[in-house]
Structure 1
Amino acid sequence: MITMPNFQFRFCLKPLSIAMLSIGLTACTGPTSPVNNQKTVIKDASPKPFGQSDESSTLNDSAERQGKPVVYQVFTRLFGNTNTNNQPWGTIEQNGVGKFSDFTPEALKAIKSLGTSHIWYTGVPHHAVINDYTDFGISNDDPDVVKGRAGSPYAVKDYYNVNPDLADDPAKRLEEFEALIARTHAAGMKVIIDIVPNHVARDYHSLSAPEGVSDFGAHDDTSVEYARDNNFYYVVGEAFQVPTADNYQPLGGEKHPLSDGKFEEFPAKWTGNGARASKPDINDWYETVKVNYGVKPDGTYDFPVLPEEYSDKSFEAHAAFWQGKDVPDSWYKFRDIAHYWIDKGVDGFRYDMAEMVPVEFWSFLNSSIKQKAPNAFLLAEVYQPDKYREYIHQGKMDYLYDKVGFYDTLKTIMQGSGEVSKLVTIHDEINDIAPHMLHFLENHDEQRIASPDFAGSAKKGKPALAVSALISSSPTLLYFGQDVGEDGSEETGFGDPTRTSIFDYVGVPAHQRFMNDGKFDAGKSTEDEKALHQFYQDVMAIAATNPAVTGEYQSLHALNLDVKDSAYTEQQFAFVRAQGEHGFVVVANFNDKPTGAIKLVVPSNVFGKDSDRITLAPMLSHEGITLEKEGINYNASFSLEGLETKVFAF
């Protein structure tokens, strides 16, 4: 099989190129709020009852949910696929594809059983695919500028329609998606889709744009590299050249009438990651072109700058600031796209590579969305921690990925090389914005936990799930198949295994066993898969329904590391979540071996009352404990099995 290791990470987290930094990244400068460096250090005594939270429970969208939002990310074309062939570079006929119609009431009920409040349907907007839909007026896409056979969901070809692969009748594909939105709402969940403002497909052309809406680039002046109201940047006087590599051929070398090493584009446009050459490198995002937001090639702005004081202002104030301002054409195009989908019933967006677009644009877009849909769920992919507060406060994002920091550190702990103390420090560093930092263990860009290159076993993700889901009131994201231990080992064509392919047609084996031909009852799952799924349901039920998860967090780690004659080490993590006098204590064991006797110490201020002993009830499959008063603290002794987590309610 031909492997392209950098391609599976379509948005690989390698150092950014100079072009990327100068267009949309270094230009996204501005004031940030001061970092709150106050640590959650346990002191020996505290007169103040613990549990009076500053984290607002208004983050929850539904009055019946007392916990936190839970986002279930589903790769839409893979979810319902029952085909098990998994032939490398297989066609849609050979390997099959899932449809909107596969999200039946049974499927949606199974998704909701994981505490899900929002389903992120990944890969919905019409992107470039190697499939013939000319009977429906859709032009064929060129394999020379498409990654994989099924195509990248982040090379959007038409923002006003949906991927025809996903429809039973491609002529009615938009109506079928609208029906899925209605079914999801009827099942008590909300709908998120992707918007990719930084780039579009190399051959963008909308068949479905509303009257009066022109395509990206339709009115560009292509005689200049940059103009404020051009939608793209141009390599003036040079034609685009298809990138080449010795170890890669489109479609694995299969003959195709359009696979000839050529793609007509004159003048060449800048590539999606900011590369400015007419012939991009094979590891560039060559299937896409960079969108111009009024950032000049030297990185300076060609639009109004948001004043510093707007970091503390409301959506309404941001919307008022932009009222009547003259902004670049691309801003209006993406505002219209977002409003179009809100009007279709979509409840929010996941913004791809948001940090490559100026923060002022996000203020403009998000404030306009919130004017139409105040409860819209706005999640952004941002990987620069020094930009987090800027994109939350000025860009008006609801949530950002907590990857560079929390996820990356938690991954090392799952792999056996990291220490819990570092995770505690990392979490403390974003204490002031913790409710905005979405947690995850898997998504379409990351390795599967069970893959050998990550942890080698889905069980090693169990303590991480409990910690990740219960440490903060921020949303938790689950990736489909994660709850049954999918290992991403399929050799599918474009890119290496360890991540379930986002570029090719493939069946997802562990998920297919759970799906059981549409019953969604784990009827073909192994016993280990059933047990893992049950654990996910149990933990996510606490996250979604227990009000203490929106309360105050307090680490018990430093205190317990100092306890003599206790088996507590850097491979265990204890913390408390509380709302008023009610809450729970979490103790997780990241070691795959049982602990000896742990003498758990909990400060008396946690409980807000004085008693000789306090009984804590079990919340997972284990026994409760009784804490005995000893001086100013409480303690109890117990042990943990390998990779076990215990959660105790008070």
Structure 2
Amino acid sequence: MSVRVSIYQLFVRHFSNTREQQVVDGTIEQNGCGKFAEITEKALREIQSMGFTHIWFTGVLEQASSTCYPGIEADEAVLMKGKAGSPYAIRDYFDVCADYAVDPENRIEEFSDLLDRCHELGIKTLIDFVPNHVARSYHSDIQPDLNFGESDDVGRFFAWNNNFFYLAGDGVMELPGGEFSGEGAGRVTGNNAATWQPSLSDWYETVKLNYGHDYTTGRDTHCLPEAEAHLDEVPDTWVKMDAILSYWQELGVDGFRCDMAHMVPMEFWAWVIRRARLRDSHCYFMAEAYDGDPAKLTHENVLESLLKQGFDTVYDGDSYELVKEVVEHGRGVTELDALLWAPDRLNRMLRYAENHDEVRLASRHHWRGQGASLGKVVMAFLTGVGPSPYMLYNGQEVGECGDGVEGFAGDDGRSSIFDYGHLPRLAKWVNEWHYDGGKLAVEEHALRAWYVEWCQLLQEPAFARGGVYGLNSANMENSTYRAGGEAIAQSVYAFVRHDRESDEAFLVVLNFSEAACGDEIEVWLPEGLGVWMDAELAPRVLLGGLEGYGVAVVQLTL
């Protein structure tokens, strides 16, 4: 069987935290925190049994935090977003977050043990690589010789070998939470805000790293070194970033989810990915990137450019947004056909229905407030129409809604990454670390069972490597092919996945309406489908009724 890359996003802070009583903006003592040691072999086996090949351990690196430990001081409150802090405000690239260790002084060893548990089961491991910015308080205790900025010419906004960008003069940074005049005050924020008064919407808790290109001059980075350049031929930031990746590879990490990869020069990616793969030829690189961001550092389509630099996969934010618009704004589902004719989107782009940046499918504030059952049809489309890698965010499989105020993040339909908290529904599946779903409600059990079945199906040859054939255009006049009286273009979407090598084929029918379809649905199979599959097919397939937000899968007899 061809193995399809499938990634389970596991946010360590949330995953195994079962503390039921939660305090808004609470401390770690009040609200609890997940631990490396609690991600047991049983937990890993349960994730693997769904068909997942990789686990992305989110938020592992030491971050700015209001919690102190022996040898680790708490950050100033003015530099923080939430009590726990942003996992993307990295304070030490060579260390892990002490919150996640049973014995904080033994935190690296506890993380290494977790990697060993994964590898013993054959699970590949990913962690975050955050190349665009660091916390204002960045200082490595593990590798102080590789600290950023210590040899910078701070009198210049930009210098090729500087690690940071510097604001003119000696001022006081007026942050949303108050004034800050400590070391690193006069530096550009992570989102390119060159100001002494960043706003609440700016990444004010972080400072931007310099890769030898002045971002204020535009996107032309062609003068930067080429992929084969030696260490003494590249900017200092490149050297330090390569050392960071090497450190984690040596510890046993199999790959990296690269944060906001489009804000870093493409030349750097070609260089650093080449070096990482000289150390491990299978090192996996996944990019978070958005072509529509004006901060991107390429004139080309950034998604295509990152794939050319060596990334294995890149976030498919456009497909996610299109499906969300279809659901929220009533656009016809036939518009989804556009995704079938983009080879890179089908074969290489990372598909997801949730992640830590996006809203929960079950949130009452989003996705028309339709609840967790809607997630099935969204997930089935995004992951079903092509063989590309896909990702599931912990809690999605049991219908986490992300609603309610946890602290800094407010009530935004997301599970807060800034605050100490837990995932109420996932905690019921964790069930005091039995990982057996012992506390789940009936409907939560059923939802998770569907996700298990669907994710296992995605490893079948037809879904793991096969082609796709859309059927909506052939069913425009089909009177049985509608939900709640709506026309086909508004409700039902169908496609066939077929693998020539195994001659395996599946018909998938999705109901994007909350209304059920009729007692029987006929799906017409056009002659062109038979030609495409080189097979003789019946002219139609008869299905029973399809519930609201229902997913039907039929294996075709060839």
**1:324 deviation in Å?**
6.9
Q: What does 1:104-253 align with in structure 2 at a 5 Å threshold?
A: 104-133=40-69, 135=70, 137-209=71-143, 213-244=145-176
Q: Distance in 2 between matches of 1:424 and 1:605?
A: 16
* Preserved contact between residue 127 and residue 163 of structure 1 (Cα < 8 Å): yes
Over 3 Å counting, the alpha-carbon distance change for 1:439 and 1:610 in structure 2 is closer
Counterpart position of 2:195: 277
Over 3 Å counting, the alpha-carbon distance change for 1:601 and 1:302 in structure 2 is closer
Counterpart position of 2:390: 476
Over 3 Å counting, the alpha-carbon distance change for 1:370 and 1:561 in structure 2 is farther
Residue 371 of structure 1 aligns with an amino acid whose one-letter code is L
* Preserved contact between residue 86 and residue 491 of structure 1 (Cα < 8 Å): no
* Preserved contact between residue 145 and residue 242 of structure 1 (Cα < 8 Å): no
The correspondence for 1:536, drawn from 433, 440, 451, is 451
Q: Distance in 1 between matches of 2:136 and 2:269?
A: 24
* Preserved contact between residue 119 and residue 190 of structure 1 (Cα < 8 Å): yes
**1:642 deviation in Å?**
1.6
**1:390 deviation in Å?**
1.1
**1:187 deviation in Å?**
2.3
Q: Distance in 2 between matches of 1:303 and 1:390?
A: 13
Counterpart position of 1:579: 499
Q: Distance in 1 between matches of 2:439 and 2:480?
A: 46
* Preserved contact between residue 2 and residue 459 of structure 2 (Cα < 8 Å): yes
**1:132 deviation in Å?**
1.6
Residue 451 of structure 1 aligns with an amino acid whose one-letter code is S
Q: Distance in 2 between matches of 1:443 and 1:544?
A: 21
* Preserved contact between residue 549 and residue 577 of structure 1 (Cα < 8 Å): no
Q: Distance in 2 between matches of 1:539 and 1:363?
A: 35
Counterpart position of 1:425: 338
**1:229 deviation in Å?**
0.4
Instruction: Tell me if 1:644 matches 2:558.
Output: no
**1:546 deviation in Å?**
3.6
**1:292 deviation in Å?**
0.5
- Secondary structure of the structure 2 residue equivalent to 1:331: helix
Residue 141 of structure 2 aligns with an amino acid whose one-letter code is L
Q: Cα deviations across residues 241-263 of structure 1 (Å, max 9, x unaligned)?
A: 1323xxxx5xxxxxxxxxx7434
Counterpart position of 1:524: 439
Q: Distance in 2 between matches of 1:367 and 1:153?
A: 27
* Preserved contact between residue 144 and residue 242 of structure 1 (Cα < 8 Å): no
Single out whichever of 174-183 and 409-418 deviates more from structure 2: 409-418
Q: What does 1:53-64 align with in structure 2 at a 5 Å threshold?
A: none
- Secondary structure of the structure 2 residue equivalent to 1:573: strand
Instruction: Tell me if 1:91 matches 2:11.
Output: no
**1:106 deviation in Å?**
1.4
Q: Distance in 1 between matches of 2:124 and 2:311?
A: 18
Q: Distance in 2 between matches of 1:181 and 1:501?
A: 25
**1:555 deviation in Å?**
1.1
Instruction: Tell me if 1:437 matches 2:437.
Output: no
Q: Cα deviations across residues 422-450 of structure 1 (Å, max 9, x unaligned)?
A: 2221442x324531111111100011111
Q: What does 1:26-45 align with in structure 2 at a 5 Å threshold?
A: none
Q: Distance in 1 between matches of 2:480 and 2:74?
A: 69
Single out whichever of 460-469 and 479-488 deviates more from structure 2: 460-469
* Preserved contact between residue 223 and residue 236 of structure 1 (Cα < 8 Å): yes
Q: Distance in 2 between matches of 1:67 and 1:454?
A: 33
The correspondence for 1:304, drawn from 215, 223, 241, is 223
Single out whichever of 334-343 and 152-161 deviates more from structure 2: 334-343
Runs of 5+ in structure 1 lacking a partner? 1-64, 250-259, 307-317, 615-627
Which stretches of structure 1, 4 residues or more, deviate above 6 A after TM superposition? Answer: none
Instruction: Return the structure number with greater relative CO, CA threshold 8 A, min gap 6.
Output: 1
The correspondence for 2:404, drawn from 490, 515, 531, is 490
Counterpart position of 2:514: 592
Over 3 Å counting, the alpha-carbon distance change for 1:301 and 1:294 in structure 2 is farther
Q: Cα deviations across residues 151-197 of structure 1 (Å, max 9, x unaligned)?
A: 00000000011001111111111111111100111122111000110
TM-score (norm: length of structure 2): 0.91
- Secondary structure of the structure 1 residue equivalent to 2:273: helix
The correspondence for 1:450, drawn from 357, 362, 365, is 362
Residue 160 of structure 2 aligns with an amino acid whose one-letter code is R
Residue 280 of structure 1 aligns with an amino acid whose one-letter code is P
- Secondary structure of the structure 2 residue equivalent to 1:268: coil
Q: Cα deviations across residues 371-402 of structure 1 (Å, max 9, x unaligned)?
A: 22221221111111632111111x21111111
Counterpart position of 1:55: none
**1:585 deviation in Å?**
1.1
* Preserved contact between residue 285 and residue 311 of structure 2 (Cα < 8 Å): yes
**1:300 deviation in Å?**
6.4
CA RMSD of aligned residues (A): 2.0
Over 3 Å counting, the alpha-carbon distance change for 1:223 and 1:301 in structure 2 is farther
Counterpart position of 1:8: none
Instruction: Tell me if 1:570 matches 2:490.
Output: yes
Over 3 Å counting, the alpha-carbon distance change for 1:192 and 1:432 in structure 2 is closer
Over 3 Å counting, the alpha-carbon distance change for 1:541 and 1:234 in structure 2 is same
Instruction: Tell me if 1:73 matches 2:9.
Output: yes
**1:574 deviation in Å?**
0.7
Q: Distance in 2 between matches of 1:474 and 1:390?
A: 17
**1:240 deviation in Å?**
3.7
Q: What does 1:335-484 align with in structure 2 at a 5 Å threshold?
A: 335-384=242-291, 386-393=301-308, 395-403=309-317, 405-415=318-328, 417-428=330-341, 430-455=342-367, 456=369, 457-484=371-398
- Secondary structure of the structure 2 residue equivalent to 1:458: coil
Q: Distance in 1 between matches of 2:243 and 2:237?
A: 10
- Secondary structure of the structure 2 residue equivalent to 1:478: strand
Over 3 Å counting, the alpha-carbon distance change for 1:325 and 1:554 in structure 2 is farther
Query: How many residues get paired?
Result: 534
Residue 507 of structure 1 aligns with an amino acid whose one-letter code is H
* Preserved contact between residue 142 and residue 263 of structure 1 (Cα < 8 Å): no
Q: Distance in 2 between matches of 1:146 and 1:514?
A: 31
- Secondary structure of the structure 1 residue equivalent to 2:197: coil
Residue 577 of structure 1 aligns with an amino acid whose one-letter code is R
**1:418 deviation in Å?**
2.6
Q: Cα deviations across residues 248-297 of structure 1 (Å, max 9, x unaligned)?
A: x5xxxxxxxxxx74341366011110000122122210100000011123
**1:572 deviation in Å?**
1.0
**1:511 deviation in Å?**
0.5
- Secondary structure of the structure 1 residue equivalent to 2:494: strand
Q: Distance in 2 between matches of 1:578 and 1:266?
A: 56
- Secondary structure of the structure 2 residue equivalent to 1:646: strand
* Preserved contact between residue 497 and residue 505 of structure 2 (Cα < 8 Å): yes
Single out whichever of 558-567 and 119-128 deviates more from structure 2: 558-567
Over 3 Å counting, the alpha-carbon distance change for 1:564 and 1:97 in structure 2 is closer
- Secondary structure of the structure 1 residue equivalent to 2:391: strand
% identical equivalent positions: 36
Q: Distance in 2 between matches of 1:346 and 1:128?
A: 22
Runs of 5+ in structure 2 lacking a partner? 293-300, 483-487
Q: Distance in 2 between matches of 1:187 and 1:214?
A: 34
